[in-house]
A and B are shown apart, each in its own frame.
Chain A
Amino acid sequence: MADKLIATPGQTVGPFFALGLDRPEWADMTRGNPQGQRITIEGQVLDGDGAPVPDAVIELWQANAAGRYDHVEDTQADRKIDPNFHGFGRVATDAQGRFKVTTIKPGAVPGRGNALQAPHINVAFFARGLLRQLQTRIYFADEAANAADPLLSSIEDAGVRQTLLARPDGSGAYRFDFVLQGKDETAFLDI
């Protein structure tokens, strides 16, 4: 282990990331016309004063509708790659701290051991004032499989668990806010 290299520290994405990272088309993960149920996820990013965060960038990574990641290390034989779904998205907040992504509902994916993980979207969250990314997951409040999900089940405080659930808000529409501090603070992960 002694010869391991030290990983490069993260540094904040800063307020001007749109110059390098803003690709509005990446907020629509369905533009390749993948299989699965179309959904939108809309929300707002709020800081410790409850003020909107207009300079956050949210990256999403998810499995396809069958529950397979488009990645060489996902070797599940019984779930097929969807050639029309890449699984990566990115969206920046607007001046009111709001964002909206369009994607498909991911399938359930295997967890550790024999566990199955409820459908979820993995999130890397960047902003001015964050020296490195925060990481979390977006689950779906109307999903029965949540009850047996290993991560959700590991969170004893129901209020904290709720912060990981996108709420149905009309047909195929979900609402998910990122609250950086306070009573409704989003649960972030050490992964």
Chain B
Amino acid sequence: MAEPPAYARPQPGTQPPYLYPDYASTVKRSPTRPLIRFEHTLSEITGPSFSSGWAGSSATDLTKQHKGEPLGERIIVTGRILDENDRPIPNTLVELWQCNAAGRYHHPVDQHEAPLDPNFTGAGQAYTDAEGRYRFITIKPGAYPWRNAPNAWRPAHLHFGVFGGGFVTRLITQMYFPGDPLLQYDPIYQSTADEAARTRLIAGYDPNLSEAEWALGYAFDMVLRGRDATPFEGRD
């Protein structure tokens, strides 16, 4: 077999560091030894494909999972999964989870004194179409307090997990909302030094995606690692 074409490494500053003391939990959980650099083999460039439906059917409307409608601003979140070379990633699994409109997760660990919503679980999944597109209908999550620092609040966010073509393209990230005043105080958002990379995490409000009398539309593309474009880079 020919040498597998490697995936490009992230440009400096475009991914968060492991140790970021403003986010206190990184201090005891980030590696202290240098990572071992290793050129890509079949093990790295292959990865799980879910196009066969192995992961179950899609669940893209989080407002229709219970008897009644959840409370909160109804939103449409849609976008494309692309690689760094602007190529769409079709048939890949997109997993979504979030808290409810009051800022409470449907999870036993979450003890924030905000109400659970019996009509909202906050989890869904989609498979991208041939153009790499996904679309969810949900409600806007609330901000919530966390114990990283006194009176610290997480900005409203959706959690997304995406696979892409290889095991090294795997991405778990968070989507934020434009104009949120909490972003400037949030160390998780701020941990990515490069501003252009960081602002990738903020969805765009798009009136063309909003549906009249019904839901607000947000556009959010996610860009996964792409192949190294220069044929000799990354070779031994």
Asked if chains A and B come from one complex, the reply is: yes
- By a beta-carbon cutoff of 8 Å, the part of chain A in contact with chain B is 1, 3-21, 23, 47-49, 51, 53, 55, 59, 61, 63, 69-76, 86-88, 109-113, 117, 120, 122, 124, 126-135, 137, 151, 154-155, 160, 180-182, 185-191
Nearest CB in chain A to that of B33: its residue: A185
Taking CB atoms, residues of chain A closer than 8 Å to B230 are 1
A7 smallest CB distance to B (angstroms) = 5
Determine whether the beta carbon of B194 is less than 8 Å from that of A6: yes
Determine whether the beta carbon of B229 is less than 8 Å from that of A19: no
Determine whether the beta carbon of B32 is less than 8 Å from that of A185: yes
Interface of A is mostly: loop
Taking CB atoms, residues of chain B closer than 8 Å to A11 are 16, 157, 159, 172-174, 188-189, 201
The docked-state distance in angstroms from the alpha carbon of A128 to that of B127 is 26
Q: Mark B186-211, 1 if CB is under 8 A from A, else 0.
A: 00110110101110110000000000
The docked-state distance in angstroms from the alpha carbon of A110 to that of B41 is 8
A-B pair number, CB within 8 angstroms: 246
Among B46, B168, B196, the residue within 8 A (CB) of A6 is B196
Interface size on B, residues (CB 8 A): 88
Determine whether the beta carbon of A47 is less than 8 Å from that of B224: no
Determine whether the beta carbon of B36 is less than 8 Å from that of A188: yes
Q: Mark B122-164, 1 if CB is under 8 A from A, else 0.
A: 1111000000000000000000000000000000010101000
Determine whether the beta carbon of A61 is less than 8 Å from that of B14: no
Identify the 8 closest CB pairs spanning chains A and B, nearest first: A20-B97, A129-B25, A71-B46, A88-B48, A131-B16, A129-B29, A48-B28, A190-B35
A96 smallest CB distance to B (angstroms) = 15
